[in-house]
């Protein structure tokens, strides 16, 4: 039973969420039909404008925030500059005593040529569609909870930045510096990735890194002068086997070789191979071990006659533990859930999100406040549509208690900085 007490005003404000279901659902269906895959610049622009229009009634500045440029290794082995689409940024009351950062992303994993383009009703509480859970539904929850916060007499106590990025599904390479900047000056972070279908939240999260190894050899005729060639794909195969053999050598650390590009006609010794892989780790200290193992494997390839290997990429998100400051924020969510009759549970996750970036900046946060859903990153992705209102109520109560001071954001921030 929750010890959290709701005032009459808070109860009245939270109850208003019930009238939001139909317009929220209509917006969700419209947004899901916009393909906003991470590389689809036209679709991202359309989705960005839709969100900016939707957020215009919040009492602050709605803007496009340019992101840092990145690097991408092409199939020709050349590292090219990448310019990312802007983020959506909303700034409200930047001088208020308590500052929050609310984050999410408007990109999806589905490319513009995907067959999965349209939402479909499965039953009265389930809709299958691209981005419905991950995380266009979460953006709707976020913005509507903030609209309800503004009905409170305590709203002036809270300032906030919303950051909705176009590159989360590819590791936030362009938005990571902005997440760091906003996290440093915020007391608490709230991120709207989807919860599980039963409402469970992610607790501690692993860290992640994305890498690309470029191996160059020497082309030659596969029959006449095979001995003069140096096979880059053969060297990559050796590296891949050695990389995979690292799995199980350190608790919680995994290596996944995901794609190999290179080669051509079968009568040519291939002179180029690019291997792309991901690593995951439980502890910050794991990253030094991972780097040492990668250095060792690359050195072995470079020791081969006529072969050169260059490692690119790096760690994109450090681990996010269930540290005391994060535990405090999770406890607030549980208290709010109990007060609303919502059972809040959480479990560790191997997945990563912007909550990892916020924690690295010293910002305690909870990062699965979005809708209930599942099967994300597949054409079976679904949302439980009743969670649009359910989760809006939950976030509204959290925001109201932060505004009234019953949830002490400053204390959580101090605890996080003391642990840093």
Residue 172, classed as helix, strand or coil, is coil
170 and 224, same domain (yes or no): no
12 and 139, same domain (yes or no): yes
304 and 240, same domain (yes or no): yes
Contact at 8 Å (CB) between 268 and 255?
Answer: no
Q: Judge whether 91 lies within some domain.
A: yes
Q: How confident is the model at residue 3 (pLDDT cuts 50, 70, 90)?
A: confident
Residue 381, classed as helix, strand or coil, is coil
pLDDT digits 0-9 by tens, 224-278: 999 999 999 999 999 999 999 999 999 999 999 999 999 999 999 999 999 999 9
45 and 132, same domain (yes or no): yes
22 and 130, same domain (yes or no): yes
Q: Tell me, what CATH number does 242's domain have?
A: 3.30.70.360
Q: Judge whether 76 lies within some domain.
A: no
291 and 352, same domain (yes or no): no
Contact at 8 Å (CB) between 217 and 229?
Answer: yes
> Mean pLDDT, to the nearest integer, of 29-42?
97
Q: Judge whether 1 lies within some domain.
A: no
Q: How confident is the model at residue 419 (pLDDT cuts 50, 70, 90)?
A: low
- Please identify, among 317, 339, 368, the residue that sits at the C-terminal boundary of a domain: 317
Q: How confident is the model at residue 48 (pLDDT cuts 50, 70, 90)?
A: very high
64 and 171, same domain (yes or no): yes
Is the pLDDT confidence value at 420 over 60?
Answer: no
41 and 158, same domain (yes or no): yes
pLDDT digits 0-9 by tens, 81-119: 999 999 999 999 999 999 999 999 999 999 999 999 999
Give me the torsion for CA of 188, 194, 200, 204, rounded to 10°.
-50
Give me the torsion for CA of 348, 349, 354, 359, rounded to 10°.
30
Residue 211, classed as helix, strand or coil, is strand
Is the pLDDT confidence value at 2 over 70?
Answer: no
> Based on the structure, what is the number of domains in the chain?
2
> Mean pLDDT, to the nearest integer, of 149-178?
96
Q: Judge whether 2 lies within some domain.
A: no
DSSP 288-304: HHHHHHHHHHHHHHHTS
- Please identify, among 289, 317, 345, the residue that sits at the C-terminal boundary of a domain: 317
* Percent of the chain's residues with pLDDT above 70: 99
3-state helix, strand, coil in the chain (%, to 5): 35, 25, 35
255 and 240, same domain (yes or no): yes
Q: Judge whether 78 lies within some domain.
A: no
Report which DSSP code applies to 368. Answer: B
> Mean pLDDT, to the nearest integer, of 371-389?
97
> β-pairing, 120-123 with 346-349?
unpaired
Q: Judge whether 75 lies within some domain.
A: no
Domain that holds residue 286: 207-317
Q: Judge whether 23 lies within some domain.
A: yes
Beta strand spans in 319-410 (E): 346-349, 365-366, 373-374, 382-384
pTM for this entry: 0.93
271 and 236, same domain (yes or no): yes
Sign for the CA dihedral angle at 12, 17, 22, 26 comes to positive
Per the structure block, which two tokens stand in for 332? Answer: 């607030």
- Please identify, among 317, 348, 377, the residue that sits at the C-terminal boundary of a domain: 317
Q: Tell me, what CATH number does 188's domain have?
A: 3.40.630.10
Q: How confident is the model at residue 349 (pLDDT cuts 50, 70, 90)?
A: confident
Q: Judge whether 248 lies within some domain.
A: yes
What is the per-residue pLDDT for 1?
Answer: 46
184 and 228, same domain (yes or no): no
24 and 116, same domain (yes or no): yes
CA 384 to chain centre: 20
In angstroms, the CA 394 to CA 60 distance is 23
């Amino acid at each position: 039973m929750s010890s959290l007490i709701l005032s009459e005003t808070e109860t009245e404000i939270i109850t208003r969420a019930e009238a939001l279901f139909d317009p929220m659902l209509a917006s969700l269906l419209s947004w899901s039909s916009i393909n906003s895959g991470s590389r689809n610049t036209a679709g991202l622009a359309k989705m960005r404008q839709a969100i900016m229009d939707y957020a215009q009634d919040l009492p602050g500045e709605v803007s496009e925030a340019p992101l840092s440029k990145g690097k991408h290794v092409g199939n020709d082995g050349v590292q090219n500059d990448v310019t990312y689409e802007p983020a959506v940024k909303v700034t409200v009351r930047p001088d208020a005593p308590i500052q929050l950062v609310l984050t999410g992303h408007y990109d999806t994993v589905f490319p513009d040529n995907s067959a999965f383009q349209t939402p479909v009703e499965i039953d009265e509480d389930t809709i299958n569609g691209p981005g419905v859970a991950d995380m266009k539904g979460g953006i709707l929850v976020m913005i509507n909870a903030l609209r309800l916060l503004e009905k409170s007499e305590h709203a002036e106590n809270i300032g906030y930045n919303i950051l909705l990025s176009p590159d989360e599904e590819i590791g936030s390479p362009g938005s990571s510096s902005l997440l760091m900047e906003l996290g440093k000056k915020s007391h608490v972070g709230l991120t709207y990735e989807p919860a599980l279908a039963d409402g469970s939240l992610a607790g501690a999260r692993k860290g992640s890194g994305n890498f690309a190894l470029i191996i160059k050899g020497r082309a030659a005729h596969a029959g006449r002068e095979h001995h003069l060639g140096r096979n880059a794909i053969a060297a990559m195969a050796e590296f891949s086997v050695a990389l995979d053999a690292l799995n199980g050598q350190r608790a919680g650390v995994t290596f996944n070789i995901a794609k190999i590009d290179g080669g051509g006609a079968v009568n040519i010794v291939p002179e180029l191979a690019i291997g792309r892989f991901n690593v995951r780790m439980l502890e910050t200290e794991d990253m030094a071990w991972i780097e040492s193992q990668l250095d060792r494997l690359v050195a072995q390839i470079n020791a081969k006659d006529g072969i050169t290997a260059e490692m690119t990429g790096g760690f994109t998100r450090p681990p996010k533990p269930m540290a005391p400051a994060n535990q405090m924020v999770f406890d607030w969510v549980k208290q709010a859930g109990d007060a609303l009759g919502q059972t809040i549970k959480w479990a560790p996750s191997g997945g990563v999100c912007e909550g990892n970036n916020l924690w690295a900046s010293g910002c305690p946060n909870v990062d699965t406040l979005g809708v209930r859903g599942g099967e994300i990153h597949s054409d079976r992705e679904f949302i439980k549509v009743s969670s649009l209102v359910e989760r809006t109520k939950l976030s509204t109560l959290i925001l109201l208690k932060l505004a009234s001071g019953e949830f002490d954001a400053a204390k959580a921030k101090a605890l996080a900085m003391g642990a840093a």
